[in-house]
Chain A
Amino acid sequence: MATAGMIIRVVILPGILLLCVLAFLWEWLDRKFVARLQKRHGPLYTGPAGILQPLADFVKLLAKEDIETTEADKPLFRITPVLLLALPLVGLFFIPIATVTGLAYFEGDLILVLFVFTLLVITIFYAGWGSADRFSIVGVMRSTIQMLAYEVPLNLALIGPALAARSLSISEIVQWQSANGRWLILSQPLGFAVALISLMSELELTPFDIPEAETEIVAGWQTEFSGRKLALIRLGEDMDLVLASSLLVALYLGGPDGPVPGLGLLWFLIKAVVVVFLFSNLRAVFARFRIDQMVNWCWKYLVPAAIGQIILTELLLA
């Protein structure tokens, strides 16, 4: 019985099926909100208010021709899109979405999720390298340099909640927030801002969409992918957005905690929608940085801010 329950939870709710639905839903929200900021309609005709548009795009890509160049490194070229979808799913299993604990939890799963982010960038590197195309190579070089810039502030900022809750398990941090009746964003707003900006850089949203700058290097590391592989990459990017927003909600906004207990999933979704709106708004209001400016800026402003937040947290705890 326990196994059947486990299988239902992993595959359907709050497992893979729910996460895929959320991935499409967040992409629709992001596109619609950015379109409204730009005085446009966004997706409009597929389904009511265009809500089925991301699913339609996914299905269309699945049906398209999948071209593999002769120069490409076949194993790398084929395995990396699958990995790009699988890695965020692994991370999401540890984040409490509907219940107070994730599907799995252990002391230190926060470090595992941070490692998933690093693994994602390494997989992107292999994807671009395996494509053996000039634009891909320039794209992954930029992606790797970008990782050097945002990795440190991201890790520093996300250690803040762990310090406050005295635990490295995401589930325990969420439970600490509901036990103390206080969300961590109120005591660590600076850490929240640093984590938000670093995650935007990880998700490759403007102003940090340098690795896939459309006007400069066509599509960066995604240039050679088409058909099914591109569909998996796109779904993987959406899943990445779900992972990033869920992580922020769990660590800073109390996870599935809300005024009415028992409706954990609903509160979680509302908070995640707010975080997605934050991402979309920031994405629409800046121009793209250049890679040297981005590294400069991250090390000059983000890292000191993250360190400052940790010092403040330590002082408050002592």
Chain B
Amino acid sequence: MPEQQPSLDDSFIIPIGPQHPALKEFEYFELRVDGEEIIDVSVRLGYNHRGIEKAIESRTYTQNLYLIERICGICSHAHTTCYCQAIEELLGVTIPDRARYIRTIVAELERIHSHLLWLGIAAHEIGFDTLFMYIWADREIVMDLLELISGNRVNYAMNTIGGVTRDMSPELLDNIREGIAKLESRARFYKDLCVEEGSVMQRVVGVGVLQPEDALHLCAVGPTLRACGIANDLRKDDPYAAYDAVSFNVITYDGCDVASRMFVRIDELIESVRVIDQCLHCMPPGPHKVKVVRKVPSGEVVSRVEAPRGELIHYARSNGTDQPERYKVRAPTLANMPALRKMLVGGYIADVPIVIAGIDPCFGCLDRMSLVDVKTGRNWIWSSDQLRRHSLTWRQQA
């Protein structure tokens, strides 16, 4: 986003970032405060930029599977699902039904994992370390399940172009049933706990308020949007994988604050358990992948999935070779950034960590940089070489 020049007044500035205990990854929020109240926020992004979109252009489609998986550790399966859907559409390939169901199961397990992780981090941000320890001890259940399914606790490598990489045995299905039953009862326990515990509720109710009109106007996505009462969920609006075959509810709450976002996520966790149950019940037999050719015919495609944090968009353009010509990733956290800025102004410094955590930021997904000249409106992308040369000349002139 274009950087505003800070105005020269004598308000007190508190920098949150780039390194700060409240942020798990680095971004820079400059808070202009008056006592304990925040008057203005200036956001600078781009500290986590790794040049992934450029790197994608020089790798084959199979190699890109693993690069795209590592855009983010918690939404890794969502990224690869989006990628595989895009390339499968370019190839004109339909994947087997069993593969669709396995993709859905892993996606929902990842959603459970992400929401549990978020709940623990939110507890830590408001100073409730005991709850944080308890929730993360329960997170081990879902990580062990994912390790059984895929062979690794994060970065599952379950997706491949044309299906999934591993099949699921009947014992594995029983293990999953057992694990998610336990997770559901723990999620209900934590929900009751948070509702009853006064010191938690007073930190999250009425904090980080975002009005529904603002949420729509600023293009918020995911649980942030659903906590304002707007029922936008890509799994219902534009079904992919096996979501058209299972029935589930889209969770919304009307509070528009961090407490509503918390409840949206806990209830989504419980809904994910229902989805996984249905998938396990009607898992069709058959192969788990189909063979595909190496060279992808020319074309361009946009693919969207509902990542745990919101709507994730990938755009791909191919030119008939076995390497993509251009790839673009729009992560949900970037869509939530303008809404975040609106939420922070007018609050207290003490609320900053929980409000930032409330949109479930994943700065690893966030940083894809393009440069915009505000005066001329010109839009361009630099390679790392050009960026380095520009910075050297700029520094010499300064």
Contact = CB atoms under 8 A, between A and B. Distances in A.
**Do A and B touch (CB < 8 Å)?**
yes
A200 to B, nearest CB: 13
Contact of B12 (A40, A134, A210): A134
B203 A288 contact: yes
Contact of B350 (A141, A206, A285, A290): A290
> Which size class do A's interface residues fall under?
20 to 34
B127 A291 contact: no
Interface residues of B, number: 32
A38 B137 CA distance: 10
A50 interface: no
B126 A38 contact: no
Interface in A15-47: 34, 37-40
B231 to A, nearest CB: 30
Interface stretch (A173-181, A211-219, A270-278): A211-219
Contacts of B130: 34, 37-38, 284-285
A213 B14 contact: no
Given A39-B133, A218-B20, A287-B203, A213 B13 contact: no
A104 B350 CA distance: 43
Given A215-B22, A287-B203, A134 B125 contact: no
B14 A134 contact: yes
Given A206-B127, A288-B203, A289-B199, A40 B349 contact: no
A3 interface: no
B349 A138 contact: yes
B203 A39 contact: no
Interface string A144-188: 000000000000000000000000000000000000000000000
Interface string A287-299: 1111111000000
A240 interface: no
B7 interface: no
Nearest to A142: B36
A290 B203 contact: yes
B124 interface: yes
A215 B13 contact: no
Given A286-B199, A290-B203, A210 B21 contact: no
B202 interface: yes
Contacts of A218: 20-21
A37 B13 CA distance: 39
B189 to A, nearest CB: 15
B21 A215 contact: yes
Nearest to B126: A287
A207 interface: yes
Nearest to A296: B202
A114 B13 CA distance: 36
Nearest to A219: B21
Name which of A207, A216, A289, A290 has the most chain B CB atoms within 10 A of its CB. A216
Given A39-B137, A289-B199, A215 B124 contact: yes
B123 A290 contact: no
A306 B353 CA distance: 34
Nearest to A137: B12
B305 interface: no
A209 interface: yes
Contacts of A207: 127, 199
B14 A138 contact: yes
Name which of B126, B127, B134, B200 has the most chain A CB atoms within 10 A of its CB. B127
Contact of B21 (A138, A214, A287, A293): A214
Name which of B125, B203, B350, B352 has the most chain A CB atoms within 10 A of its CB. B350
Interface in B8-32: 12-15, 20-22
Contact of A291 (B13, B22, B36): B36
A285 B348 CA distance: 24
Interface in A61-112: none
B267 interface: no
Contact of B351 (A38, A214, A217, A290): A290
A216 B129 CA distance: 14
A298 to B, nearest CB: 14
Given A134-B14, A287-B123, A288-B203, A38 B129 contact: yes
B197 interface: yes
Contacts of A34: 130
26 contacts: A38-B129, A39-B134, A134-B12, A134-B15, A138-B14, A138-B36, A141-B35, A206-B128, A207-B127, A210-B350, A213-B127, A215-B124, A215-B125, A215-B127, A216-B22, A216-B349, A216-B353, A284-B129, A286-B128, A287-B128, A287-B131, A287-B197, A287-B203, A288-B126, A289-B199, A290-B351
Given A286-B128, A289-B202, 10 more contacts: A37-B130, A135-B14, A138-B14, A141-B35, A206-B128, A216-B350, A287-B128, A287-B199, A289-B199, A290-B348
What 10 pairs across the A-B complex have the smallest Cβ distances? A288-B127, A287-B128, A38-B133, A287-B199, A215-B22, A286-B199, A290-B350, A287-B126, A215-B353, A284-B130
